[in-house]
Amino acid sequence: MTIDLFITCLNDAMFPRTGEATVKLLERLGHEVRFNEAQTCCGQMHFNSGYQEDALRLVRHFVETFRDAEVVVAPSGSCVGMVRDLYPRAAEWAGDEELLAEVNALAPRVFELSEFLVRHLGVEDVGAYYPHRVTYHQTCHAMRILRVGDAPLRLLRNVRGLKLAELPAVEQCCGFGGTFSVKNPETSTAMLADKVQSVLSTRAEACTAGDNSCLMHIGGGLSRLQAGTRTVHLAEILASTEAEVFA
Amino acid sequence: MSAGGIVPRQSFQEAARVTLANAQMRRNLGHATTTIREKRLRAVSELPNWEELRDEGAALKDHVLANLGDYLLDLEASVKRRGGQVHWARDAAEARGIIADIAASHGAREVIKVKSITTDEIELNAGLAERGIHAIETDLAELIVQLAEDRPSHILVPAIHRNRAEIRELFRRKLGAEGLTDEPKQLAEAARLYLREKFLTTKVAVSGANFAVAESGTVCIVESEGNGRMCLTMPEVLISVMGLEKVLPTWQDMAVFLRLLPRSSTAERMNPYTSFWSGVTPGDGPREFHLVLLDNGRTDVLADEVGRQTLRCIRCSACLNVCPVYERAGGHAYGSVYPGPIGAILTPQLLHLEDKNANTLPWASSLCGACYDACPVKINIPEVLLYLRGKITEEKPLSAEAIAFKTAAWVMSEPHRFEGAIKLARMGQGPLVRNGAIHALPGMLGGWTESRDLPPIAAQSFREWWRKRPAPEMRGTDGDAQTSEGEPIAPQREDGVPL
Ligand code: SF4
């Protein structure tokens, strides 16, 4: 299958290895991967912060970029959540019928990496090897908007060498929330403190998730505490093999 | 005191700081919400058709809202037919005036109250006090809040932020109840002794309402303590005040909500006391009954296509109990009698999006979506939050933040500009990066680095890497990616920090 990658602005600029891992993983599974260089950002940050008109520019840009894709896959639950759940809202609230029709045609073809692998390709064992103790943080958008369910866990359970440690209070938000973390830093920090505590209680070497925005938050807290536990995107674990540990 | 108890005195951020700094309060809240969250999940999972029930509740409420005028007129006619009187109050001041006039016309110096949230919305206690009438709360938690001269912090458990030791101390001081222990039973007994006398001697009662049935003119309250029933049946005059949206067409509809409400709010299959009353009945209960129908901004909410769903709310408080922001910041941070996720969308709308402090509430959410999942009438709270953010931002004068966002949108709507910006940021971040991370950010972003580090912009962006990739035929047959320089990918990040 020909898969169009959506690497998201955050991954492009700050976490390129997640994108590299996604490419490597999908190619290893035998797919042709394309990266349309016209892509930029899904507009989530703008839309969520109340700048809907500005977000619309990015919504239109996204639609133009990916209009002809068979499927679009992104290693980011929240950005896919934006496309599937909120693009229709954005178009509706702007009263743009044409855009709404385009969005409705495109959005069902846009997938988060783990749901794409498990639900769409029916793959649960990607042949990965990652000999570490890992805990999995369920990000809110993947869990409640995309309903990816246990897709990431199924993938992780099949990773050779990996010991999965259950994260307490797994359904609780890490407190990132995009600009929430900057606009309400004290509340966000209180949420983060509990999440970091949960992560540390698992004695995992790494905390993983399907979204680098949440991991950036959790990782930022762990790093400030100088805790040994690191964060690593799910794609990087899945891309790792015995021949080459990616993450 | 005109718009009532829904006007926040501070922004959410300022008010949240108070609870966040109070370790005891945070512990009380964390403990209480965790317990009730788990109980609710169990109560809900017992019903195989919970999701259908939610759909039914939402659809029924939407039907009512679409025909609200008709059902309210039906309700008015039914109440009158049963010997009750109906009053329409446009705002808080009007409602206070109506209730105070009725109480004063009976020469009341004291009134007893139950189910007080709507009366708190209109700041009735203060309004009555101005007329020399003292209001006495009879819900145990409301009484605690009143005695402590505190404010409610939860819809259902207004004193959720207090623990038993604090309550014992309060009863000792205010009710003269000596020798109490922390036992809930003893605390309840102390309150009962105090309240019993009030039930027996007070002539006028004021209540809220959970529902009202249009076809029969019946008003309904669900509660756990039985104090409500005393309050509704003992006095000579009963005044019930309810928001316009609480009307239901028929008794059949009530059946849906009596299943949805207790499980969502107290995690019970059925609440202990459900009281119904219709007008007046000779020889039984109050001799005079007044129903005050309160608008106070509701018709404006109704007029808004997206915001309208807010009025489906049955005040069960499930959204508060699952909200991670509420759990940390506490109810007082919302500055209104409606705290938590529902407050974050209801309060600013009731105030017509004109109150500066209330307008900070739609940002008091990480958009985790737990509230939407929990809401028995499926109010899409995250959606309304975003919608309100858009409306409020639109109205604001151009701020530094707005300019930043506009610039970012301009940059990101064109890939070359975006790539240029990444390169610029990479060069500019130099002085900020220490040991591979950013520990302090300037300006608007400073909130992040108060407690968190930030990774720097990568030395090579994804698209740079992609461009430098060898052509497919040059790569290994297994499609292994290699860096453009041909080095194997080592287990370390692009910025050179070993993992
Ligand atoms: S918004 Fe929904 S969950 Fe929250 S109090 Fe209202 S009915 Fe309950």
> What total of structural domains would you count in chain A?
2
Report the share of chain B in percent with pLDDT over 70.
Answer: 94
Quick one: A94 and A167 in the same domain? no
For residues A94 and A168, state if they share a domain.
no
A21 plus A82 within the same structural domain: yes
| Range of the structural domain that residue A216 is part of | 133-245
Does A23 contact B478 at a Cβ distance shorter than 8 Å? no
Q: Do A186 and B20 touch (CB under 8 A)?
A: yes
Query: Does residue A143 lie in a domain region?
Result: yes
| Global confidence as pTM | 0.92
- Confidence band (pLDDT; 50, 70, 90) for B451? confident
CA distances from A237 to A46, A113, A183, A233, B95 (A): 30, 13, 32, 7, 62
Task: Say whether A187 and B329 touch across the interface (CB within 8 A).
Answer: yes
CA distances to A237, B414, B462, B470 from B465, rounded to whole Å, are 19, 19, 5, 10
Structural fold of domain B19-302: Rossmann fold (3.40.50)
Give the C-alpha separation, B426 to B420, whole Å: 10
Task: Give the residue from A120, A141, A162 where a domain finishes.
Answer: A120
- Per-residue model confidence as pLDDT tens digits over A84-120: 999 999 999 999 999 999 999 999 999 999 999 999 9
* CA dist., res. A142 & res. A119, Å (int): 14
For the residues B11-30, what does the mean pLDDT come to?
90
- How many other C-beta atoms can be found within 10 angstroms of the C-beta atom of residue B168? 18
**Residue B487 banded pLDDT, cuts 50, 70, 90:** very low
Of B409, B414, B465, the CB nearest to A16: B465
Whether residue A184 sits in one domain with residue A113: no
Q: What is the pLDDT of residue B476?
A: 54
User: Residue whose CA is closest, atom 3 of ligand 1?
Assistant: B375
Q: What distance in angstroms lies between residue B253's CA and the mean position of ligand 1's atoms?
A: 18
The 10s digit of each residue's pLDDT in B287-346 is: 999 999 999 999 999 999 999 999 999 999 999 999 999 999 999 999 999 999 999 999
Predicted ipTM of the assembly: 0.96
In Å, how far is A91's CA from the nearest CA of chain B? 12
The CATH number assigned to the domain holding A179 equals 3.40.50
pLDDT score recorded for residue B3: 56
Neighbours of B466 (CB within 10 A): 20
**How far apart are the C-alpha atoms of B399 and B404, rounded to whole Å?**
9
Per-residue pLDDT band for B485 (boundaries 50, 70, 90) equals very low
**Do A111 and A153 reside in the same domain of the chain?**
no
Pocket of ligand 1 contains residue B161 by CB under 6 Å: no
Measured in Å, residue A61 CA sits from the centre of ligand 1 at 37
Work out the average pLDDT over B231-243.
95
- Cα of A58 to nearest chain B Cα, Å: 6
Q: Which of left, alpha, beta for B64 (phi over 0: left; psi -120 to 50: alpha)?
A: alpha
Same domain, A144 and A224: yes
> Is there a domain that residue A173 lies in?
yes
Residue nearest to atom 4 of ligand 1 (CA): B319
Indicate the residue among A74, A92, A120 that finishes a domain.
Answer: A120
* CATH 3.40.50.10420 domain locations along chain B: 19-302
Same domain, A51 and A30: yes
Phi/psi-derived region of residue A30, left when phi > 0, alpha when psi is between -120 and 50, beta in every other case = left
Same domain, residue pair A111 and A23: yes
Residues in A touching B453 (Cβ below 8 Å)? 219-220, 223-224
- Verify whether the Cβ–Cβ distance B489 to A246 is below 8 Å: yes
Instruction: Tell me, using a 6 A CB cutoff, whether residue B319 lines ligand 1.
Output: yes
Domain match, A144 and A217 both? yes
Q: How far does A90 lie from chain B, in Å, by closest CA? A: 9
Q: Which of A231-245, B20-34, B65-79 has the lowest mean pLDDT?
A: B20-34
Task: State which of A120, A145, A169 marks the end of a domain.
Answer: A120
Residue A15 lies in a domain: yes
Comparison of pLDDT for B445 and B350, the residue scoring more: B350
Q: Closest ligand 1 atom to the C-alpha of B317?
A: 5
Q: Does ligand 1 lie within 6 Å of residue B314's CB atom?
A: yes
- Range of lowest pLDDT (A74-88, B223-237, B354-368): B223-237
Kindly state whether residues A113 and A7 are assigned to the same domain. Answer: yes
> Average pLDDT, whole number, for chain B?
90
Q: Which two tokens stand for residue B296?
A: 């106070």
Confidence (pLDDT) at B339: 96
Which positions of chain A have pLDDT values less than 70?
247
Ligand 1 atom 6, closest CA = B313
Domain identity same for A48 and A80: yes
Pair (A84, A161) in one structural domain: no
Is residue A127 in some structural domain?
A: no
Q: Is B157 in the pocket of ligand 1 (CB under 6 A)?
A: no
Ligand 1 centroid – CA A145 distance (Å): 19
